[in-house]
Amino acid sequence: MRNLLLTLRYDGSRYHGWQVQKNAVSVQEVFQAALEKILGERPDVKGCSRTDSFVHALEFCVSFFTDREIPCGRLVDALNHFLPHDIAAVSCREVPADFHARYSCTGKEYVYVIWNCRTRDPFLRDRVLHYWYPMDLERLNRAAEYFSGAHDFTSFCAKDARRPGCMTRTVTKACWGREGDFVRFSVSADGFLYHMVRIMVGTMLWVAQGKLEPGDIPRILAARDRSAAGPTAPAQGLYLKRVFYKDVNRNE
């Protein structure tokens, strides 16, 4: 059996996240259908992340076992023949048998994209958050600095039906940047909680509006209470940018 690591990119506008849903179309469902047409089987596919409904991925990694001998390059080409226009296979390589797209992951980087302009751009619909109010990036970066390091992020996690576990995550990068009318928040960590990045962004937009001060972030973290933080930013601005693995080059 071969263990394959595939890298995908997708526009999540039409999908209810990665994971298969009972009553909604997911990226995993569409991907597995294309894979079945090529391999004649439906492998148990492991994704690097769940990703929320309507969230995008610049890099999304999946792994699965197969005994088919199709070369990696041909598999990528075949997938791109059967996948819809908003999902693309980028690369494929064989990895050790103990590799798992989710459990072997050592960290991820997300970027949240805002179109900070008075007028909306119809060509950016469903791909950015249109936010027309002034944004003081120096003030926002002072707030973002407080997220760096290891913290309990309970205040920045949406309540859901999943069993609670350790809520501590270690953030290695959290910063805002601007290119023209595009404003981006980039954040890297060893892992992320449910809606964590979107709540971080929504809370910092309250900082931008003066409803909170940058120095309020430590207090919100210490509260360990979702109601202490700001709103959840809309999904369409969020992108999974990079997935980190130790000793694995995804582009070979």
In the prediction, which pLDDT does 250 show?
A: 56
Considering 11, 44, 52, 121, which one is annotated as catalytic? 52
In the prediction, which pLDDT does 80 show?
A: 98
Splitting the chain (252 residues) into consecutive groups of 10 residues, what average pLDDT does each group show? 96 93 92 96 93 94 96 97 97 96 96 97 96 96 98 91 79 98 98 96 97 98 96 97 83 52
In the prediction, which pLDDT does 37 show?
A: 96
* Domain limits, the chain: 2-104, 106-242
In the prediction, which pLDDT does 21 show?
A: 85
In the prediction, which pLDDT does 55 show?
A: 96
In the prediction, which pLDDT does 4 show?
A: 97
Q: How many helices (H) and strands (E) does the chain have?
A: 5, 10
**What is the dotted CATH code of the domain comprising 106-242?**
3.30.70.660
In the prediction, which pLDDT does 51 show?
A: 86
Per the annotation, the verdict on 52 as an active-site residue is yes
**What is the dotted CATH code of the domain comprising 2-104?**
3.30.70.580
In the prediction, which pLDDT does 141 show?
A: 98
In the prediction, which pLDDT does 207 show?
A: 98
> CATH topology of 2-104 equal to that of 106-242?
yes
Question: pTM of whole model > 0.85?
Answer: yes
Helix (H) or strand (E) holding 110: strand 105-115
In the prediction, which pLDDT does 251 show?
A: 55
* Burial of residue 167 (number of CB atoms within 10 Å: 0-12, 13-18, 19+): middle
